[in-house]
Structures are given as structure tokens and as C-alpha cells.
Amino acid sequence: MVFVLSHDRKPLDPTSHRRAGLLLKKGRAAVFRRYPFTIILKDRLAAESVTHPHRLKLDPGSKTTGIAVVAEDFGKLSRGTTGRVVWAGELTHRGQAIRDALLSRRASRRSRRQRKTRYRQPRFLNRRRPEGWLAPSLQHRVDTTLTWVRRLLRVVPVAAISTELVRFDTQLRENAEISGVEYQQGTLAGYEVRQYLLEKWGRRCAYCGAKDTPLQVEHILPRARGGSDRISNLSLACEPCNIKKGTQTAEEFGHPDIQAQARRPLKDAAAVNTTRWAMYQHLVATGLPVEVGTGGRTKFNRTCLGLEKAHWHDAACVGASTPEALDVRGVRPLLITATGHGNRQMAGLNTYGFPIRHRQRVKRHFGFQTGDIARATVTTGTKQGVYSGRVAVRASGAFNITTTSAKIQGLNHRFFRTVHRSDGYTYTAALG
């Protein structure tokens, strides 16, 4: 679906690509933004239109966050309501890149201090962190998600927001003494434990590595030999491996590394748990009703709806507000990758750390900036053709463009036309 703005820039109901094309062709609308694709009407005000409520749904993740916009009460079924996913996206974060850059900077500064100020008294821990402070790599996940929340609120009539707040073991938070078979009680029986194990074991069999096959919860030290139901003693196995292992321990079965992997920390889960409350508080600050759900509820909904595992499918299934049926036909999620806005390094270094080139302080040349998405129509020379992709600019006017299949270098700036200004993200339409 295509997002639509009224003449006074108020969000209206999304429309189909066909209708949007007709409006553009007749001159009744103009392209307002490429990503997400939005048109603005020239002859209609918001007061002259009727809008219907939509729900913005988020599935926050450490590496990728799923986003879905669902039109609620899209239709009626005998067993309840059905909704339609009008837009979906998957936002890939760059938290690991930020962490690596901070570690590199710390190493450079430490080396410089050792060379220049080796006798200076240490001055670590001389800064006070504000309340609610998050590490930059974690704050980035919150900021980029909120950026897209604000963008979507400007182009679609959102009446409510749904997000995952608690992913693992919510029953333990309510009852600290819970153990064993008590986890199996209730409508969501075992879903919180399974979600935890799926994250820990990478959604594959711990013994043979099989993916896309039904997995069973398996005891590393079998219960028949005194093994407990503790989460550290559980893994995932496909049915053949589970039967073949029988009452053997993981080590006897030929996998001594499984026990060590079972005790491995969940870095990604820790990142989500650290940022979840900051995300929730910012969403509440929008003034819209915010519904929260667990990872177990999301998996339960997705399983009942028969949807494949995907970040945007998870987002569409977040919370108890998920309708009895979801219409996902024709939805191709927008793959959004955070790239940042460049860096401040003014000198390029060779292998030995000596500066060999210097940058200008000007980022924009001939009306273009590195990171812009543009179309190059080359009419002369040996590189004739039409290219669309990300631009890398040079002060000389000879630009590079990176398409989905190749990188073309040395194209003159006069061949380029801007499609989308650099905003710190790259965009790709999912195949399908």
C-alpha cells in the first residue's frame, strides 16, 4: 500500500499502488517521500476525508526490529475480526558497528596517552552518567526505532501502538518459586520457555544443526538420570536426534560442547531487555494507547495464524489485539539498514598509521552527498546505461554509484538525478 497525505499534510488512509499511479498520472497528487513511499494530494483537505484506525506494531530486536502497520476491523469473519497488513518493514540496527568503533577509539586514545602523558595521574570515572543512561550501541537501537515510529505517525492515521515488552520467562517474575511442570499450565503453555530456547540455540537442532523442522525441548542430562527442568539443562533437538539420544547425556552422545553452549550468555536477549523500558516510555510519550505483549504471545499468535518466521510477521502478531485472521497478501516488507551519517575522520591512514590523504570539510558537491540514492542516465562513453543506487561523491565531480548488482565508478555528476536524500539508511525491497 501507498501512504497518502492530504493537501494540508494530514495522514489519510493508505491506498493501492494502482490508484496512487492514477492520481500521479492525472496530476492530482505528487510524490512526497520515496521511503516509505508517500504521495500528497493537491485537491483534498483532511476535513473532507474519512479515515479509519490503524495500529502500529513493533517487534524490537537486538539486530533487527520488525515493523508492521495493520488496518484493524478490515472485515468480519464468523469467528471474529480480520485485519490487513498495509505496510511492513524490517529495520537492521548498527549497534555492533557502534560498539566496535568505540572500542577502536578507546584503543587509539589509550595508546596516545601512553605516548604523550604517561606520567599524568589517572582520571577515569570522572564523569557522572545521567539517570536512565544507555550505552551508545543500545541507545542507537532505541533512537532508530523511534525515528521510524515518528515517520510512520506522520503518514498514516495510527490510533494505537503495540510492542513486545517482555520476551522471556514472565511467569518467573510473577512467581519466584515456579519450577518444573508448573511452566506447562495455561493457554500459553511452554511458549515462553520455547521462545527462550529458540533464541539461545539459533532456531536449529543443537545436535545436527537442522533448520526449518519441528524442534522438541530436550534435556541435556536426561531426567531419567537425575536431570532437572532448569533452563540451563534444556536444549532443542529434532525428533530423530531426540530419539537417537535416548537416555544418554550430551557428552555421551558425542556433543560435549552442548553443555558449555547451554551456559553461554544471551547477549542479544540482554540488549533487548536493557532497552525495552526506555522504548516503552518513549512510546507512551507519543500520547497514543500502548499495548504490550510477550514473546510467547507473539509466537502463539503467529503459530495460530500459520505465518512463517519473519521479523515483520512477528511484529504483526504482537499483543492480544492481533485479530483472528491477518491479510498479508502482496506485502513486500521494506528492508531498512542503518548506515549512519558518515564519520568525522579527516585523514585517511596507510597500513602503518601515517596520514596519506585528507578530506575537505564540505560534504556536498554539485548538489549531491555520499549516501544519496540517485538515478544515473549515462548517454556517452563506454558506461552507457541507466543505474540506480547509492552515490559516493568526489570533489572532482566523478561519482561512484553502487547498485544491487555492481559498483560503477567515475560517472560525471551531470548524469545524476536525486531520488532520495541521504538520511542514514539504505533501502531494499524484499524479494517475493
Q: How far is CA 238 from CA 20, 235, 256, 287, in A?
A: 48, 10, 18, 46
Burial 330-347 (b: 16+ CB within 10 A, else e): ebebbbbebbeeeeeeee
d(CA 382, CA 397): 18
| Reported confidence tier of residue 378, pLDDT bands at 50, 70, 90 | very high
Percent of the residues in the chain that have a pLDDT greater than 70, as a whole number: 89
Count other Cβ atoms within 10 Å, centred on residue 354: 8
Provide the pairing of β-strand 407-412 with 364-365.
unpaired
Q: Which CATH number fits domain 362-424: 2.60.40, 3.40.50, 2.30.30, 3.90.660?
A: 2.30.30
d(CA 23, CA 30): 8
d(CA 382, CA 43): 46
Q: What is the dihedral of CA 423, 45, 51, 421, to 10 degrees?
A: -10
- Mean residue pLDDT across the chain: 85
Tell me the pLDDT tens digit for each residue of 298-317.
988 999 999 998 999 999 99
Q: Where are the domains of the chain?
A: 1-51, 52-103+134-338, 362-424
In this structure, what DSSP letter does residue 118 have? T
Contacts of 405 (CB under 8 A, 6+ apart): none
Provide the pairing of β-strand 158-166 with 290-294.
parallel
For residue 36, is the peptide bond before it cis, meaning its omega torsion is within 30 degrees of 0?
yes
d(CA 415, CA 376): 5
pLDDT (0 to 100) of residue 412: 94
| Range 189-194 contact pairs with CB under 8 angstroms and sequence separation of 24 or more | 190/217, 191/295, 191/296, 191/297, 191/299, 191/300, 192/168, 192/294, 192/295, 192/296, 193/169, 193/217, 193/231, 193/234, 194/296, 194/299
Q: Hunting for cell 542514514 — which residue is that?
A: 424
Count other Cβ atoms within 10 Å, centred on residue 349: 11
Q: Which CATH number fits domain 52-103+134-338: 1.10.220.150, 3.40.50.970, 3.40.50.300, 3.30.420.10?
A: 3.30.420.10
Percent of the residues in the chain that have a pLDDT greater than 90, as a whole number: 44
| pLDDT exceeds 70 at position 210 | yes
Count other Cβ atoms within 10 Å, centred on residue 389: 21
User: Any alpha helices (H) in 201-343, and if so which ranges?
Assistant: 239-245, 257-262, 267-284, 295-305, 311-316
Whole-model pTM? 0.76
Tell me the pLDDT tens digit for each residue of 388-424.
999 999 989 999 999 988 999 999 999 999 999 999 9
d(CA 282, CA 132): 12
Tell me the pLDDT tens digit for each residue of 319-349.
888 888 888 988 999 999 999 888 778 888 8
pLDDT (0 to 100) of residue 171: 47
Cα atoms in the 13 Å half-sphere on the side-chain side of 315 = 29
Residue 426 Ramachandran class (φ > 0 left, ψ -120 to 50 alpha, else beta): beta
Tell me the pLDDT tens digit for each residue of 123-139.
777 778 888 899 999 99
Q: Which of 34-38, 47-51, 60-64, 196-200 comes out lowest in average pLDDT?
A: 196-200
pLDDT (0 to 100) of residue 431: 62
